[in-house]
Chain A
Amino acid sequence: MTLPAENVAPQLTRNRRLIIVIGVVIPLLITMAAAFVMALWVPELPNPVASHWGTSGPDGYSTVGSVIALPLLLTLVFAALAAFGSWKGGPNGGMLWAHKIMVAASVFLSISLSVTAAGSLAVQRGLDNAENAPAIGGIALAAFPIAFVVAVFAWLMLPASERIQSTPVAAKPIAGTTTQRVHFSSTTRVGAGVLVVVAVALLALGIALGVQAVSNPAELLLPAVIGLVVMALAVSTLSWRVTIDQRGLKVRSAFGFPRATIAPDQIASVATVEVNPIGEFGGYGWRWAPDGRSGIVLSKGEALEVTRTNGKRFIVTMHDAQLAAEALATVAKK
């Protein structure tokens, strides 16, 4: 987005204009244009129209109105979410990459939904019965790359992401004799806020599986397996046991999987660092940041940061990160 040269509004105001234009107005205009085109086709469409396709043709039907309204409704909800979520900006008034992702995703969602909905109706024009509707796999496949390319353009129009990474503070080994051995252990877990969000999400997933079990038990197995694995992983990664001794750093989630170990000879340096989960890692759990860091991100604040000999950095948020870093520095003799 080019701004007039005389525009001297503060950065946050300019960013908010971009959020509104790219994240809300453009997605809504796209979905409204698609809705308008689809509305023009209504006289030529069967009633009801096919709205869901199985492996052997259409297997779900609904009114034209709901096919037209759904992309509008979803885009409206997500655009509002993106605008609210990114409104505050980063701590220095810039846009965090997590905010940019939400704004670009709003564009992606509006285009992929609109193209899929319009495409599914386009193939049904002139049909008397929706049961004869041809497959739309090709349209769905085409919709995602188109939406992705436009979303990338949207991303490029947004300002560079604000870097809020704090400077790591190198840890000193614990003073003592060279023959001393140390053992550090601690438990680190998510805060109450994250716990509530996870509980709500898991409840929703459980309800969705329950509905599937009642309405379509034949196709339950795959969603049930995936759903239960996701639930188990989500619950397991809420709490981690951190152990540091002569064998290095070991992090183990509540159920024992996932887990990770870094041996002392793989450690180049140990430090403590302040971490902002949303701003730097885009959320909570076992995370990868765009700057190449990965780690266990459970809370805002202090974290242990280990730089491996191959340059990769691993972090673990914990309340006693300082002590952990000193213990690990002792073990790694760094």
Chain B
Amino acid sequence: MLVRVDPASETPLFEQLAASIRQSVIDKSVTAGERLPSARELASSLGVNMHTVLRAYQELRDEGFIELRRGRGAIIAATAHSYDTLADGITAIVAEARTQNVSLAALTALIREEYK
């Protein structure tokens, strides 16, 4: 599993971390049940605060991507791999948005509106 963060970016570090791990689950470079590095390990490895990693892990747990277990650390949740049809749908929507010259901001606004 690959995790990338850029401390110089304007996006908060915990969001970058969560996005990176989420992406690994969606593109299947990690499989269900695989152990994630411990928060302490990942924090020292990336040179970020441990609470930043924990916050990202908690967000991913709330989204159902990972399971946090006391003493066992974080593992990829068994329920995490159900994004295939969604990903296909999004590919189609983005392609459609491009042909109609709809901007990313406008598209996300539409999705946000629909999701409410």
How many residues on B have C-beta within 8 angstroms of the other chain's C-beta atoms? 18
Is A246 interfacial (CB 8 A cutoff)? yes
Chain B residues, Cβ within 8 Å of A55: none
Stretch at the interface among B3-11, B78-86, B99-107: B3-11
Minimum distance in angstroms from A320 CB to a CB of chain B: 6
Chain A residues, Cβ within 8 Å of B108: none
Is A177 interfacial (CB 8 A cutoff)? yes
Contact A181 B4 (CB under 8 A): yes
Chain A residues, Cβ within 8 Å of B45: 183, 243, 245-247
Which residue of A177, A187, A323 contacts B8 across the interface (Cβ within 8 Å)? Answer: A177
Chain A residues, Cβ within 8 Å of B5: 180-181
Chain B CB within 10 Å — which of A177, A180, A243, A247 has the most? A180
Interface residues on A, range: 10 to 19
Contact B6 A183 (CB under 8 A): no
Chain A residues, Cβ within 8 Å of B6: 176-177, 179-181
Is A174 interfacial (CB 8 A cutoff)? yes
Is A184 interfacial (CB 8 A cutoff)? yes
Extra contacts besides A182-B4, A243-B37 (13): CB < 8 Å: A176-B4, A179-B6, A181-B5, A181-B7, A181-B46, A181-B47, A183-B2, A183-B37, A183-B45, A184-B1, A185-B1, A245-B45, A246-B47
Residues of chain B at the chain A interface (Cβ within 8 Å)? 1-9, 29, 34-37, 42, 45-47
For the complex of A and B, 9 pairs with smallest distance between CB atoms: A179-B8, A245-B45, A180-B6, A183-B3, A183-B45, A184-B2, A181-B46, A182-B4, A185-B37
